[in-house]
């Protein structure tokens, strides 16, 4: 984590820290509301006053140069940052369906079941394909075989992996190709029936064909899930997201419909980043 | 760009000639290579030395076994076996009496009354033990004869060996001077057989007497005692029925029957007796030492495995950074304690405490308490376990820490709590690493010497497993302990000396196998984590 916090070295001199003047996109129904969020690792503040409403049943992309805090923000949404000592939200709140997820009464286990996550590097457990997908159900205390069987099949189908692995469910997940492993991780996240799926650069380690498959999958999944995806790939954000948020130096610079951001951004920094002038 | 330009100025261009550089390079290579070479050579020399000294054992042991037969010791031992089984039965009778007295004391009967009630039994017992008087007489006569013959044969063999050595080295005149006495072995053996001629009549007489005794055996007041007594009677009848077989064995025994070469190996690997420097016959059986080492190791691992692994899990997964900084070096510090200090501690504190605890009334319900020996398998095992904790802890902690972070994060992201993540992901993912940690701990334990020498009690005997878990509270001797204890006292080149080397070789093989297995597991674990 900490390694990605370094500031980009080639800071364009034209960019100065600007006051909060972030325009809010028109959103029918906000699933996640982020309000004036400040976040710090120890004394090092990485997020500054982020305000963002993430719509339900749509794909929202976070873009921005390395170290801009987009992954940190993503990991705030299912409180994965709890695992890091000294990392904490210093101000502001995150609400999912109106409930503050950092409130003392919130059960983090429950939260993480509702907010699934797919990581940058595919990380199936050293177990069989079946056991990988069943893991979330088993730790939730479900022991009935028929229920698990059903859920495993359903999740693998949702992840568009079922046809490829149905004959070898009980071999190690490591026998799969990189793209298949990442889809297995998606299936594993879907098995516990979350409402939100967070994806942290899910295609950064995949070849173009595997990437295309995962992107196709993301477009299908938004029918049922609220998806938040962090990506470094502009084309990817353009291809599969409905809304895009651009971050720079820990601030949200612009948030709007993806089509608008990529065709006619309101901020000059966004435009420069998208057109590849820095970042 | 400016930085690079600056550094060109700071570091002057190399002025040394190419030749000087080559010499330096070669010097470096020779220094490090030489060190590695020394280590390899020393290890090879140790191995060769071990094998050379050890393998001579088999030839010497074979002649030792042959002498046992040729001098008639084996013959005498057949009769001695009959006599000692009789003694064992006699001992059983006193055990029955003891439990009888205890049962009576529980009923609060006065001592005089108990003794009066047991008087007929006592008369029976002493009559029983008297029946073997003649038998013991025969045994002690024959023992003297046979050991005298053995001495003579042994001395002669020594002289012969000396002479042939002198002849080989060319000192023929000196060789001539050595007078090798002729020994009339046949006559001595005939005397031996004559001495035992009345064995059959003695045993027949004893059989008759015992059957009479059994017929009029007195009843015992306590039902449990009576039951034990009945069992004893059956055993005695079996013993009597086996007597003709012993006579038969004596008749067919031949001093010149060949002893096959493999007996020398099997008597070592499977021999249940380790008897050295005995006037009668030396036995080099590794089983009591092996069993001792294994039992001590089992007890040690019983303590070290949970302690080591649980603390590894705690430090790698649960402890805060501050606790980590405190606990890790502290546990690793244990391995810095000299084992002799731990041994002292074992004698003075652990052994004493265990015995005191066993005597407390709270633990009376345990059948084998109170224990009589302060130094036993348990005491040694406790301390060895303590010594193995750092090994297991360090390696298990490594294995756990090396589990990719992604596994942990994925598990938490799916809503697992800490226990589930540890139990279902981290431990399975690092299992082969943990198992190899345990194996290396075992290697450490089985090769440790000082603590077992001080705390295991050093009685060369296979523990009495009929006591169940109580066997763990008996003293044993171990492979490492026996080498350390006896190596300093043996004559170089003697059978005993070589036997100790063989024990060392067995130990070496065991630890080698354990280490090999552990390394294979580590390699597999690295692959699976990829």
Q: How high is the ipTM of this complex?
A: 0.85
Please state, for a pLDDT cut of 70, what percent of chain A lies above it: 89
Over residues A255-263, the mean pLDDT reads 90
Q: Which helix (H) or strand (E) holds B400?
A: helix B377-401
pLDDT bucket at B28, cuts 50 / 70 / 90: very high
Please give the pLDDT value at position B526: 62
CB contact under 8 A, A109 and B415: yes
CB contact under 8 A, A139 and B429: no
Mean pLDDT of chain B: 85
pLDDT bucket at A279, cuts 50 / 70 / 90: low
CB contact under 8 A, B428 and A127: yes
The C-alpha atoms of residue B511 and residue B440 are separated, in whole angstroms, by 9
Query: Is the Cβ–Cβ distance between A221 and A249 less than 8 Å?
Result: no
Please give the pLDDT value at position A244: 93
The C-alpha atoms of residue B210 and residue B207 are separated, in whole angstroms, by 5
Residue of A nearest to B321 (CA): A85
A102 touches chain B (CB under 8 A): no
Tens digit of each residue's pLDDT (9 = 90 or more) over A142-169: 889 999 999 999 999 888 889 889 899 9
* Residue at which a domain ends, from B259, B282, B299: B259
Tens digit of each residue's pLDDT (9 = 90 or more) over B481-491: 999 999 888 88
Tens digit of each residue's pLDDT (9 = 90 or more) over B36-90: 999 999 989 988 988 888 888 888 888 888 888 888 888 888 888 888 888 888 8
pLDDT above 70: residue B480: yes
Please state, for a pLDDT cut of 70, what percent of chain B lies above it: 96
Q: Which of B323, B325, B410, B417 to substitute to test the interface with A, most A CBs within 10 Å?
A: B410
Interface of A with B in 69-88 (CB under 8 A): 78, 80, 83, 85
Please give the pLDDT value at position A178: 86
Statement to judge: residues B365 and B230 lie in one domain = no
CA neighbor of A54 nearest in space, from A253, A243, A221? A243
Chain A CB contacts of B414 below 8 Å: 112-113, 116, 135-136, 139, 188-189, 192
pLDDT above 80: residue B248: yes
Statement to judge: residues B228 and B85 lie in one domain = yes
pLDDT above 70: residue A11: no
Query: Is the Cβ–Cβ distance between B267 and B282 less than 8 Å?
Result: no
Statement to judge: residues B220 and B335 lie in one domain = no
pLDDT bucket at A7, cuts 50 / 70 / 90: very low
pLDDT above 80: residue B292: yes
A113, A127, A185: residue with CB nearest B415: A113
Please give the pLDDT value at position A172: 87
Statement to judge: residues B245 and B319 lie in one domain = no
The C-alpha atoms of residue A159 and residue A221 are separated, in whole angstroms, by 8
Which single residue is written with the structure tokens 């301390």? B383
Over residues A194-218, the mean pLDDT reads 88
The C-alpha atoms of residue A77 and residue B245 are separated, in whole angstroms, by 87
CA neighbor of B394 nearest in space, from B428, B440, B341, B446? B440
Over residues B240-267, the mean pLDDT reads 84
The C-alpha atoms of residue B181 and residue B189 are separated, in whole angstroms, by 17
Statement to judge: residues B241 and B321 lie in one domain = no
Chain B CB contacts of A119 below 8 Å: 406, 409-410, 413
Q: What's the whole-model pTM score?
A: 0.78
B16 in a structural domain: no
B372 in a structural domain: yes
Q: Name the β-bridge partners of A89.
A: A39
* Tokens (6 digits) for A174: 């490591």
CB contact under 8 A, A119 and B410: yes
CB contact under 8 A, A192 and B404: no
Buried/exposed code over B484-512 (b: 16+ C-beta within 10 A; e: otherwise): eebeeebeeeebbbbbbbbbbbbbbebbe
Please give the pLDDT value at position B340: 92
Please give the pLDDT value at position B394: 93
Over residues B430-454, the mean pLDDT reads 90
Statement to judge: residues B400 and B314 lie in one domain = yes
Statement to judge: residues B218 and B300 lie in one domain = no
Say how many CA atoms lie within 13 Å of B161 toward its Cβ: 8
* CATH at residue B420: 1.10.3720.10
Nearest CA distance, A189 vs chain B (angstrom) = 7
CA angle B119, B125, B126 (to 5 degrees): 95
* Tokens (6 digits) for A248: 């720079």
Query: Is the Cβ–Cβ distance between B195 and B79 less than 8 Å?
Result: no
Q: Which of A77, A101, A108, A126 to substitute to test the interface with B, most B CBs within 10 Å?
A: A126
pLDDT above 90: residue B528: no
Q: Name the β-bridge partners of A50.
A: A37
Please give the pLDDT value at position A8: 42
Nearest CA distance, A166 vs chain B (angstrom) = 23
* Residue at which a domain ends, from B240, B259, B278: B259
pLDDT bucket at B1, cuts 50 / 70 / 90: very low
**Torsion sign (Cα): B335, B339, B343, B345:** negative
Statement to judge: residues B417 and B516 lie in one domain = yes
Please give the pLDDT value at position B188: 78
Over residues B203-231, the mean pLDDT reads 82
CB contact under 8 A, A139 and B528: no
Q: How many CB pairs under 8 A join A and B?
A: 71
Nearest CA distance, A191 vs chain B (angstrom) = 9
Statement to judge: residues B131 and B248 lie in one domain = yes
**Number of independent structural domains in chain B:** 2
Tens digit of each residue's pLDDT (9 = 90 or more) over A108-119: 999 999 999 999
Residues of B with CB under 8 A from a CB of A: 320-321, 404, 406-417, 420, 424-425, 428-429, 528-530
The C-alpha atoms of residue B458 and residue B377 are separated, in whole angstroms, by 10
pLDDT above 90: residue A61: yes
Query: Is the Cβ–Cβ distance between A182 and A203 less than 8 Å?
Result: yes
The C-alpha atoms of residue B384 and residue B496 are separated, in whole angstroms, by 28
Statement to judge: residues B237 and B348 lie in one domain = no
Transcribe chain A into DSSP letters: -GGGGSPPSS--TT-----S-PPPPP-SSEEEEEEEEEEEETTEEEEEEEEEEEETTSEEEEE-STTSSHHHHHHHHTTGGGGSTTEEEEEEEEEETTEETTSTT--HHHHHHHEEEE-SS----SSBHHHHHHHHHHHTT---HHHHHHHHHHHHHHTT-HHHHGGGTTSBGGGS-HHHHHHHHHHHHHHT--SEEEEESTTTTS-HHHHHHHHHHHHHHTTT-EEEEE-S-HHHHHHH-SEEEEEETTEEEEEEEHHHHHHS-SSHHHHHHHTTS--
A113 touches chain B (CB under 8 A): yes
pLDDT above 50: residue A19: no
Which single residue is written with the structure tokens 């790939």? A233
B3 in a structural domain: no
A80, A85, A109: residue with CB nearest B417: A109
pLDDT above 90: residue B326: yes
B520 in a structural domain: yes
Please give the pLDDT value at position B221: 76
pLDDT above 80: residue B130: yes
Please give the pLDDT value at position A6: 42
The C-alpha atoms of residue B445 and residue B448 are separated, in whole angstroms, by 5
Containing structural domain, residue B493: 291-529
Measuring CA to CA, how many Å separate A177 from each of B303, B337, B498, B530? 44, 51, 59, 14
The region of weakest confidence among B212-216, B310-314, B447-451 is B212-216
Statement to judge: residues B237 and B184 lie in one domain = yes
CB contact under 8 A, A192 and B411: no
pLDDT above 70: residue B4: no
Query: Is the Cβ–Cβ distance between A176 and A156 less than 8 Å?
Result: no
Please give the pLDDT value at position B186: 78
B402 in a structural domain: yes
CA angle B170, B175, B179 (to 5 degrees): 170
Measuring CA to CA, how many Å separate B320 from each of B159, B203, B420? 75, 78, 19
Over residues B219-234, the mean pLDDT reads 82
**Strand pairing class (A99-100; A115-118):** unpaired
B61 in a structural domain: no
pLDDT above 60: residue A26: no
Tens digit of each residue's pLDDT (9 = 90 or more) over B376-410: 999 999 999 999 999 999 999 999 998 888 899 99
B48 in a structural domain: no
Over residues A1-13, the mean pLDDT reads 41
B42 in a structural domain: no
Query: Is the Cβ–Cβ distance between A237 and A63 less than 8 Å?
Result: yes
Statement to judge: residues B252 and B298 lie in one domain = no
**Torsion sign (Cα): B179, B185, B187, B191:** positive
Higher pLDDT, A230 or B126: A230
Please give the pLDDT value at position B304: 95
Query: Is the Cβ–Cβ distance between A50 and A40 less than 8 Å?
Result: no
Please give the pLDDT value at position B492: 85
pLDDT above 80: residue A21: no
């Amino acid at each position: 984590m900490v390694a990605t916090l370094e500031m980009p070295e080639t800071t364009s001199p034209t960019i100065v820290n600007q006051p909060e003047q972030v325009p809010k996109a028109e959103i029918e129904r906000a699933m996640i509301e982020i309000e004036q969020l400040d976040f710090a690792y120890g004394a090092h503040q990485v997020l500054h006053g982020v305000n963002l409403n993430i719509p339900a049943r749509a794909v929202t992309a976070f873009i921005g140069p390395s170290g801009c805090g987009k992954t940190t923000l993503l990991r705030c949404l299912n409180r994965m940052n709890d695992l890091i000592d000294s990392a904490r939200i210093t101000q502001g709140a995150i609400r999912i369906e109106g409930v503050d997820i950092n409130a003392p009464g919130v059960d983090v286990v429950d939260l993480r079941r509702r907010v699934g996550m797919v990581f940058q590097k595919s990380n199936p457990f050293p177990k069989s394909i079946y056991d990988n997908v069943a893991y979330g159900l088993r730790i939730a205390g479900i022991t009935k075989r028929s229920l698990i069987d059903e859920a495993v099949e359903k999740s693998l189908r949702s992840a568009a992996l079922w046809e490829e692995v149905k004959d070898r469910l009980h071999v190690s997940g490591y026998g799969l190709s990189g793209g298949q492993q990442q889809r297995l991780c998606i299936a594993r996240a879907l098995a516990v029936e979350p409402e939100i799926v967070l994806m942290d650069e899910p295609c950064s380690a995949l070849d173009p064909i595997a990437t295309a498959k995962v992107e196709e999958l993301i477009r299908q999944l938004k029918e049922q899930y609220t998806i938040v995806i962090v990506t470094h790939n502009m084309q990817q954000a353009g291809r599969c997201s409905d809304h895009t948020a651009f971050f720079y130096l820990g601030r949200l610079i612009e948030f709007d419909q993806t089509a608008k951001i990529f065709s006619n951004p309101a901020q000059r920094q966004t435009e420069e980043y998208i057109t590849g002038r820095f970042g | 760009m400016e930085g690079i330009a600056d550094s060109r100025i700071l570091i002057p261009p190399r002025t040394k000639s190419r030749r000087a550089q080559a010499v330096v390079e070669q010097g470096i290579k020779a220094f490090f290579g030489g060190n590695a070479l020394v280590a390899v050579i020393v290890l090879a020399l140790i191995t060769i030395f071990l094998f050379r000294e050890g393998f001579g054992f088999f030839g010497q042991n074979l002649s030792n076994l042959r002498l046992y037969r040729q001098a008639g010791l084996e013959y005498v031992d057949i009769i001695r076996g009959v006599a000692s089984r009789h003694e064992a039965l006699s001992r059983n009778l006193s055990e029955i009496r003891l439990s009888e007295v205890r049962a009576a004391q529980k009923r609060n009967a006065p001592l005089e009354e108990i003794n009066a009630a047991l008087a007929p039994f006592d008369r029976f017992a002493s009559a029983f033990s008297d029946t073997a008087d003649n038998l013991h007489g025969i045994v002690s006569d024959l023992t003297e004869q046979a050991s005298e013959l053995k001495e003579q044969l042994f001395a002669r063999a020594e002289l012969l060996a000396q002479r042939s050595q002198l002849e080989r080295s060319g000192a023929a005149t000196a060789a001539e001077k050595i007078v090798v006495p002729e020994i009339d072995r046949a006559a001595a053996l005939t005397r031996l057989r004559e001495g035992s001629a009345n064995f059959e009549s003695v045993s027949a007489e004893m059989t008759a007497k015992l059957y009479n005794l059994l017929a009029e055996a007195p009843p015992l007041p306590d039902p449990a005692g009576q039951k034990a007594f009945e069992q004893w009677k059956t055993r005695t009848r079996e013993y009597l029925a086996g007597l003709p077989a012993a006579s038969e064995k004596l008749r067919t025994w031949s001093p010149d029957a060949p002893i096959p070469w493999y007996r020398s190996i099997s008597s070592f690997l499977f021999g249940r007796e380790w008897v050295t420097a005995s006037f009668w016959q030396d036995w080099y059986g590794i089983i009591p030492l092996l069993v001792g080492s294994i039992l001590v190791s089992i007890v040690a691992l019983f303590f070290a495995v949970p302690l080591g692994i649980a603390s590894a899990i705690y430090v790698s997964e649960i402890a805060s950074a501050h606790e980590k900084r405190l606990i890790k070096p502290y546990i690793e510090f244990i391995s810095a304690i000299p084992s002799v200090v731990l041994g002292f501690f074992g004698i003075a504190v652990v052994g004493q405490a265990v015995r005191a605890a066993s005597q407390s009334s709270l633990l009376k319900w345990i059948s084998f308490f109170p224990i009589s020996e302060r130094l036993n398998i348990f005491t040694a095992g406790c301390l060895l376990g303590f010594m193995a904790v750092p090994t297991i802890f360090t390696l298990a902690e490594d294995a756990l820490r090396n589990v990719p972070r992604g596994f942990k994060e994925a598990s938490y992201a799916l809503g697992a709590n800490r226990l589930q993540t540890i139990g279902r992901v981290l431990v399975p993912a690092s299992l082969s690493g943990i198992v190899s940690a345990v194996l290396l701990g075992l290697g450490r334990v089985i090769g440790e010497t000082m603590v077992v020498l001080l705390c295991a009690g050093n009685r060369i005997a296979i523990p009495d497993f009929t006591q169940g878990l109580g066997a763990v509270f008996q003293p044993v001797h171990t492979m490492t302990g026996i080498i350390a204890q006896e190596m300093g006292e043996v004559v170089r080149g003697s059978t005993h000396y070589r036997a100790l080397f063989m024990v060392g070789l067995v130990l070496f093989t065991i630890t080698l196998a354990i280490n090999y297995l552990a390394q294979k597991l580590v390699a597999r674990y690295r692959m699976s984590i990829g």
